[in-house]
A and B are shown apart, each in its own frame.
Chain A
Amino acid sequence: MAGQLFFYFLALLTVAGAVAVVALPNPLYSVLSLVATFLGLAGLYLSLNAQFVAVVQVIVYAGAIMMLFLFVVMLINLGREERQALRLPVQKLAGTIIGLGVFAGLVNLYATTPLLTGAKGLFPAARLAEVGSVQAVGRLLVTQYVLPFQAMAVLLFVGIVGAVVLARRRAR
């Protein structure tokens, strides 16, 4: 009962935050709403026994990445007229079509796939309490998913090198 109540609260927070991101006129409010959405998501992970994922969601997305978004929005700090001028005419139409497409895909997935609930999978709650979620995630990362993990490392490295190259060219 209490768990269900928490779920509805977190789901409401997540969805309301996501709606506010696109509905609010001020980009700074949008960023803050996105933070609320991410916190709601972290709460949902937590209620699914995925403590590690929840905390990483807060540190990486809500903490670091949204901070950078906020940084950019604050530095640029556009007025209302400047923001209006930046809007593309097809933006709304394209956004609506893509959004509806993704939604249709999700509905299709929900309708065709049987839902897994509770104790299925490699790490049900009882086993997770035994090994701890950090160990579980860590072990999977360096065994079963080592290739995607390494590929991601290369991707991030390319990003860092790219940033350094761009910054140096500007300085010269």
Chain B
Amino acid sequence: MGIAVEAVIALVKIAVVLGVVSLVVAYLTYLERKIIAHIQQRLGPMRVGWHGLLQPIADGAKLFLKEDIIPDKADKVVFVIAPIMVLVPAFVVYSVLPFSSTFYITQVNIGIFFILAVSSLGVFGIVMAGWASNSKYSLLGALRSAAQMLSYEIFLGFSIIGPLMLAGSLNMQKIVEAQSDVWFVFYQPLAFVVFFIAALAETNRVPFDLPEAETELVAGFHTEYSGMKFAFFFLAEYASIMVVSTVAVTLFFGGWQGIGWIPLPGFVWYVLKLGAMIFVFIWIRATLPRYRYDQLMRLGWKFMFPLVMANIFLTGLVKFLFL
């Protein structure tokens, strides 16, 4: 009996998180268009609903009703599986994210590691999409994306080791609890900078959006996709932005912990911090030009890699000597 009740509770939680995340992700696209528009002194979407508030729903309906085209020369099976392979890992990760001190789907001892592992599977979908489309632009986009994500995954992984050494745990809840006095961003500023840059590259965002560089590759790996399959790639991209932002908030900004004595529930703090983080992502997209491929690799291996290594060494030294 106990197991059945637990299973039902877990299913309800999963349904709630899935529903809310899907809706929030849809509205992230609206937020992005609006913020970029205002940064560029435009108005952005204004027609559907008050100040275009219903725009994401209209877009969703449009994509849902659109004809689903599979190119003749494409590898049909892989072409259909690819968008699913991108979307599923992006959403599975939400199962271990700590939304507040009491609300989470499950606690895993190796939470942060689980997130890294599952999100590293998303790149398979991108590469499969690029190969299955049987188009030069898609293949080039997919190859770029694979090389980029493989290299920057390394920096992402190494940059979180510093904060993890301070927390002494891989459990997301315990990492948050370890920051009740001081946020780790003050102890680990270097790690945060590297983490943030690597996160931009992992999510294929400006200035590292080479895999879908519209000026050279049409749309990169999803050039040949249309309708709901295209929407899947889109949703997965924004879902992973939310995931890396959550990891950043959890590891460096104290997760659901509040500031000072302001009495707000943990969940509100989490949402506020997450919102600020996502705003920075969008802000950067409106501000920076794109990196060239060789510049991307040089920045990674010659600058960020030594930096994270030095950071791990210093953190270990300080911890060994003073703590």
Q: Which residues of A contact B (CB under 8 A)?
A: 28, 32, 35, 51-52, 55, 58-59, 62-64, 66-68, 70-71, 74-75, 129, 132-134
The answer on a CB contact under 8 Å between B110 and A52 is yes
User: B-side binding surface: helix, strand, loop or mixed?
Assistant: helix
List 15 interface pairs A-B (beta carbons < 8 Å), by A numbering: A28-B78, A35-B124, A51-B109, A52-B113, A55-B116, A64-B153, A67-B127, A71-B127, A71-B143, A71-B146, A129-B109, A132-B169, A132-B170, A133-B109, A134-B170
A66–B169 CA distance with the chains assembled, in angstroms: 29
In the complex, the answer to whether B146 meets A134 with C-beta atoms within 8 Å is no
A66→B120 CA distance, assembly (Å): 11
Nearest chain B CB to A162 CB, angstrom units: 17
**Chain A residues positioned under 8 Å from B110 (CB to CB):** 51-52, 55, 133-134
Residues on B with beta carbons closer than 8 Å to the beta carbon of A67: 123-124, 127, 146, 150
Point out the residue from B116, B127, B169 that lies within 8 Å of A74, measured CB to CB. B127
Q: Tell me whether B235 is interfacial, beta carbon within 8 Å.
A: no
Residue among A51, A59, A129 making CB contact with B116, cutoff 8 Å: A59
A70-B120 contact, Cβ under 8 Å, with A133-B109, A133-B110? no
B9 close to chain A: CB less than 8 A:
no
Instruction: Judge whether B113 and A63 touch: CB under 8 Å.
Output: no
Q: Do the beta carbons of B153 and A63 come within 8 Å of each other?
A: yes
Contacts of B116 in A (CB 8 A): 55, 59
Query: Which residues of B lie under 8 Å from residue A51 when comparing CB positions?
Result: 108-110
A59-B113, A63-B121 known, 7 other contacts, Cβ within 8 Å: A51-B108, A59-B116, A59-B120, A71-B146, A74-B127, A74-B131, A134-B110
Is B117 engaged at the interface, CB distance under 8 Å to the other chain?
yes
User: Nearest Cβ distance between residue B218 and chain A, in whole angstroms?
Assistant: 19
Q: Are B109 and A55 in contact (CB under 8 A)?
A: no
Interface size counted on chain B using CB atoms at 8 A: 27
Could you say which residues of chain B place their CB within 8 Å of the CB of A35? Answer: 124
Contact call A55/B114, Cβ cutoff below 8 A = yes
Which residues from B are CB-within-8-Å of A74?
A: 127, 130-131, 139, 142-143
Q: B117 touching A55 by the CB < 8 A rule? A: yes
CA–CA, A74 and B145, complex, Å: 13
A55, A75, A132, A133: the one contacting B143 at CB < 8 Å is A75
**Distance in angstroms between the alpha carbons of A64 and B157 in the assembled complex:** 13
Q: How far is the CA of A67 from the CA of B147 in the complex (A)?
A: 9
Query: Which B-chain residue is minimally distant from A62 (CB atoms)?
Result: B121
